[in-house]
Amino acid sequence: MKPETNTTKIKRRTLLGDFIINEKVILTVIIMNAVVIFLMAFPSLEEHFTLINLDNIFVLYFLIEAIVKIRRLGFKDYWSINWNRFDFLIVVCTLPLLLARFIPIADSIHIITLFRLFRLMRLIRFFQFVPNLQHILVGLARAFKASIFVFVMLLFMNFVFAVLTTYLFRNSLPMYFGDPILSSFTIFQMFTLEGWNEIPQAISAQTDLSNFQINLAKFYFAMVVLLGGVFGMSIANAIFVDEMTMDNNSNLEKKIDSLESQIGRLEGLLIAMNTKTNEEIIKTSSEKEVE
């Protein structure tokens, strides 16, 4: 049996490196790691020996992947790629998982769980396969920018209603309006139209309030829902959707402008042709008259 030559060893290492940094392999490992992290979220499987070892193997694989890419590209070229930066930061943040097997850490279970969850962020890499991702991100940024004023208005309304409602109902409904923070959450819940009808029902159950006070309180909360939930959220949604679809409208407007320009040129040609034809007819008539 012939001993391995240096060329054979280099070729084998190259093939192994190609396999490690293959994009399909990386994405497959990310999915498998996500499944393992999902299973370890069950209390009965959190300390499962096999799952813990698999999790550590995934951490080691991601570390080796980063090292292989850095050796092949050089750190400068490696760092120039945004996805590589993202992966490298995730790897650095999860390295303590390997060290925790050898170095005792106070409250290690909670810290290890936190580091483990960092790796779930690698699932974001699948967004690179979303069609027209850049177009969607630009639309989202534009929609958020256009909606800032509406969001500030809703925040201001939430603040005012929260403070006012705390003073009015903190004694009768302390579970909803016991303090401004709790009131702010309840008002936000009403803005989203989620379970808002439970509050008027709770007011109706109050025996120390007169019918007039109960009806006045119901009217007040109906106005909160109407202003914040119906009008406010509807305006926010309308502006957001309008800005998201603006690119489609812009493309349509460009096509219409292009068609109008082409129609204008055609009209010019037709006018020129009609003028020329009329001149030829007049010229022909004149020649016949002379004859």
More confident residue, 289 or 213: 213
Residue-range domain boundaries for the chain: 6-129, 133-244
Q: How many CB atoms lie within 10 A of CB 20?
A: 16
Sign, Cα dihedral of 75, 78, 81, 83: negative
Assess contact for 115 and 97: CB atoms under 8 A: yes
Q: Which long-range contacts (CB under 8 A, 24 or more apart) does 197-205 make?
A: 199/173, 202/173, 202/176, 203/169, 203/172, 203/173
Report the distance separating Cα 226 and Cα 291, nearest Å: 88
pTM beyond 0.85: the answer is: no
Q: How far is CA 272 from CA 260, 261, 285, in A?
A: 18, 17, 20
- Average pLDDT over every residue of 41-54: 84
> 133-244, which class in CATH?
mainly alpha
Sheet strands (E) in the chain: none
Q: How confident is the model at residue 288 (pLDDT cuts 50, 70, 90)?
A: low
Whether 63 and 91 have beta carbons less than 8 Å apart is answered as yes
The helix (run of H) or strand (run of E) holding residue 166 is: helix 133-169
pLDDT at 251 (0 to 100): 61
Is 157 exposed, middle or buried (CB count within 10 Å of its CB: 0-12, 13-18, 19+)? middle
For residue range 133-164, list pLDDT tens digits in order. 666 777 777 777 777 888 888 889 899 999 99
Q: Which residue has the higher pLDDT, 287 or 45?
A: 45
CATH number listed for the domain at residues 6-129: 1.20.120
DSSP-assigned letter for residue 231: I
